[in-house]
Amino acid sequence: MRTKPIVSSDKVSEKFFEQGYLDAIPILSQDEARGIWAEVSNSLELDGPKRFKTHLLLPILDDVVKNPGIIRVVCSVLETEDVLVWSSDWCIKNAHSSGFYSWHQDSTYAGMTMPEKAVTVWLALTPSTPASGCLRVVPGSHKWGQFAHELKASNDNMLSRGQHIVIDEKIADFTNEAVDLRLQPGEMSLHSFRSIHASGPNQTDYPRIGFAIRYCAADLQRESRITEKESAILVSGIEPENCSFIMESAPNQAMGDEEVLEWKQAVDRENKNYFQDNPVRQAYHR
């Protein structure tokens, strides 16, 4: 199967390789962002399992994950034309919410042999600011390797079991280096799966809404502990031989019977892996 490869002719961003993130990249107009959210919120109850992989349920979200502007940037930083969307999820903090996301790395529970072949795109549909609990990233932390994480349940920590980096004296001050990734509706940020990141509570009168998309190189391999072969959708280039993923189909209609079945099978595959020992599936950045 082949899709039209879209690779940026621009020089690969030096900032990403040095800092581990990009921010404030315009993708949609604010009207387009509002329109997407209106359709999604009218079509889905975004709690429980339907927070995840909704690009398999709605054609409008399939268009988002295949947006040429996003794909150009992703192909550039991953240095390949062959790219999959592994997963997606909704990151919603209601107005005046005390919910936060503790310091963590997306790589911790992803089960990837080379996490540097994966990135998270975070597309803002409402303003994402320090006051509303925007993403905070520690520059250069993608070069520091994998940190130990521990589970600590908390009513306000919006990660599934309060997963957070174990802080010791060597890294106790890293949060002082964090930068805020401020986004207007329609703008995106992107960060490495190794980047240390978090986000605070929403202190504003409006919800903070973002759509997180997990892209990876199509030849990415999974760790041996990932016993169930998961699925992904090709968004650029060619499916490699011996691909680690089952190929998903794009939705033809919103919430059709075939679409719902494919979505359910995809989420069930992930749950079989990520709920074996720890709740890995919900451990990613919000």
Which pLDDT does position 2 carry in this prediction? 47
Model-wide pTM > 0.75: yes
84 - beta bridge partners? 216, 234
Query: Which CATH number characterizes residue 83's domain?
Result: 2.60.120.620
Residue 5 lies inside a defined structural domain of this protein: no
Please count the structural domains in the chain. Answer: 1
* Residue pair 221/227 in contact by the 8 Å Cβ criterion: no
Which pLDDT does position 275 carry in this prediction? 66
Which pLDDT does position 164 carry in this prediction? 78
> Which three-class secondary structure state does DSSP give residue 60?
helix
Which pLDDT does position 276 carry in this prediction? 58
CA distance 147 to 171: 10
**Could you tell me which of 64, 114, 9 has the C-alpha nearest to residue 233?**
64
**Could you tell me which of 138, 168, 188 has the C-alpha nearest to residue 28?**
188
Residue 52, amino acid:
F
Alpha-helical regions (H) of the chain: 14-19, 30-43, 59-65, 68-78, 257-274
Residue 8 lies inside a defined structural domain of this protein: no
CA distance 62 to 236: 13
* Residue pair 186/24 in contact by the 8 Å Cβ criterion: no
Please identify which residue in the block is written with the tokens 């521990």.
Answer: 150
Backbone angles phi, psi at 95, to 5 degrees: -55, 140
**Could you tell me which of 150, 200, 201 has the C-alpha nearest to residue 175?**
200
| Tens-digit pLDDT string for the chain (286 aa) | 445 544 444 555 788 999 999 999 999 999 999 999 999 999 998 877 889 999 999 999 999 999 999 999 999 999 999 999 999 999 999 999 998 888 889 888 888 989 999 999 999 999 999 999 999 999 999 998 888 888 777 788 777 666 778 776 556 678 788 999 999 999 999 999 999 999 999 999 999 999 999 999 999 999 988 889 999 999 999 998 989 999 999 999 999 999 999 999 999 998 888 765 544 433 333 3
Residue 3 lies inside a defined structural domain of this protein: no
Full domain range(s) for residue 162: 14-282
Residue 246 lies inside a defined structural domain of this protein: yes
Paired tokens of 204: 């504003």
Residue 204 lies inside a defined structural domain of this protein: yes
CA distance 56 to 156: 29
Which pLDDT does position 10 carry in this prediction? 58
Residue 2 lies inside a defined structural domain of this protein: no
> Which three-class secondary structure state does DSSP give residue 180?
strand
Which pLDDT does position 43 carry in this prediction? 94
Paired tokens of 203: 């202190």
